[in-house]
Every structure is written in C-alpha cells, then in structure tokens.
Amino acid sequence: MPDISLTTLVLLCAAALVAGWIDAVVGGGGLLLLPALLLGLPQVPAAHILGTNKAVAIVGTTGAAATYVRRAPVRVGTAARIGLAALAGSMCGAFFAAGIGSDVLRPVIMVVLLAVAAFVMLRPSFGTTADKGPVTRARVVAAIVLVGGGIGFYDGLFGPGTGTFLVLALTAVLHLDLVTASATAKIVNVCTNAGALAMFAYQGTVLWGPAALMAVFNLAGGMLGARMALRKGAEFVRGVLLVVVFSLVAKLAFDQWG
C-alpha cells in the first residue's frame, strides 16, 4: 500500500462523503471520487485507482439503494433484470481496464465531465415529471441491453458519470421521473459496481485499507443524499454538481497539460 499522509486521507474521506451524496441524488458521484483519487494518489497506477473507487462506491450505492427501495415506487423486478445485464457488462469492462494509464484516463474523464455539464445546463427540466407514455416490452428490452449492458461495460472500463448516465437513460427509455429513475439507477449501479469490483479484486488492483475508511463516509453521504432526494427532488443539487464538474475539469486539465 502506498504512503498516504493524514491530510490526503482526510480530503479523500471528505470527497467520498460528498460523492456519496451527489451519487444518491442525481448520480455521478464517480465524477468527484475518481478524480479525487487520481489527484490525491498520483503515484498509484490507474488500475488500482479504478479498483479502489469501486470498493468505495459500492458501499454508498448499496446504502442509497436500500433507502430508496423502502420509500420510492421502484419496479424492483425490472431494475434487477437491468442490473444483471449491467453486472455482466461491468465485468467485461473491468477486464479491459487493467491496461489503461492515467494519461489516457484524465482526458476521458474531462470529456465525460463536460458532456454531463452541457446536458445539465441545456436540459434543466429533464425528468422533473414522469412521462405518461406506455412502457412497452421493447423499451424494457432496450433498457436491459443498452442501458444495462452498455452502461455497465462503461462503468467497468472507466466509471465516472455512470450513475448520471443511468438516471438520464432510464428517464428517457422507461418514462420515469427523475427521483424514481435515481432510485432504479441505484439498484442497477450496485450490480455494475459488484461486477467490476469482483474483477478488480481478482486482479489484485484494490487498495483495501483506504477504501474501507472512505467507504464509511461514502455510505453516510449516500444515505443522506437519498433521503434529501426523496424529500426535495433533484433540482437543488444541479448548481452544486455544475460547480464541482467545472472545478474538477480545470484541475485535471492543469495536471494534464499545465
């Protein structure tokens, strides 16, 4: 395990707390957590960063999913079918992630961050109410194959923004409102995290010590975020998400090219 200063560990735990909160409300906690790990542990190989990120994220995501299932109208059966496809996809993605270097990972994360920011700004009302259109069998199949398998593969390969992509895709494909989509996404995200983590653990690319401590804070943030989302909706977090996104893009761009 690398030498980690107390200051760095405290900052990583704080990032895990905020990431858990953001992930539970609108998804995309990895947009904060993964860059934080890259910045805080620059000496650690990218594969170990990805594996550690999954070990932290699965705890907070599971806590948020449990909170949502108890209080939100989630179609657990549909979510589970999408989740199984996502688990398989994420294991495949994680298998290919071992060969990725930080110099490749940073630009990809920046592109993802900017894409999410653009969508949030251009479509501020997306998912504020449920679409009344019918959810056909074809839409459910599309959600299983494209949302589950496709986004699951992306989550295993890179990860940041997966929760947000799931929320947006589920809202569009299954006609869900944003809060119900967030709840469903959490169940699917547990499966993608589990599949990727299993592969990373098999490859020995997880820093279990820091991950265990950060996971406690991620869990607290996830459960708090889920309760706030159910009580207030997702609108209040959009401004915070944009600030975080642009701050991280600026920092990653400086580290890459500054």
Rounded distance, CA 147 to CA 243, Å?
Answer: 27
- Residue 178 predicted with pLDDT over 70: yes
* DSSP letter for each residue of 155-171: HHHT-TTHHHHHHHHHH
For 7-54, what is each residue's pLDDT tens digit?
Answer: 999 999 999 999 999 888 877 788 788 889 988 999 999 889 989 999
Name 137's Cβ contacts closer than 8 Å, sequence gap at least 6.
Answer: none
Cβ(232)–Cβ(238) under 8 Å? no
Cβ(188)–Cβ(58) under 8 Å? no
241 pLDDT band (50/70/90 cuts)? low
Rounded distance, CA 59 to CA 165, Å?
Answer: 19
Cβ(227)–Cβ(67) under 8 Å? yes
For the chain, the domains span 6-257
Helix (H) or strand (E) holding 119: helix 102-122
Rg of the Cα atoms in the chain: 17
SS3 percent helix, strand, coil of the chain, rounded to 5, is 80, 0, 20
Nearest to 120 by CA among 24, 251, 254, 246: 246
In this predicted structure, what is the pLDDT of residue 230? 81
Structure tokens at 160: 């940041």
CA 78 from centroid of its chain's CA atoms:
20
Q: Does residue 24 or residue 125 have the better pLDDT?
A: 24
For 51-102, what is each residue's pLDDT tens digit?
Answer: 999 999 999 999 999 998 888 778 888 899 999 999 999 999 888 876 666 6
Q: Is 172 exposed, middle or buried (0-12, 13-18, 19+ CB in 10 A)?
A: middle
In this predicted structure, what is the pLDDT of residue 118? 83
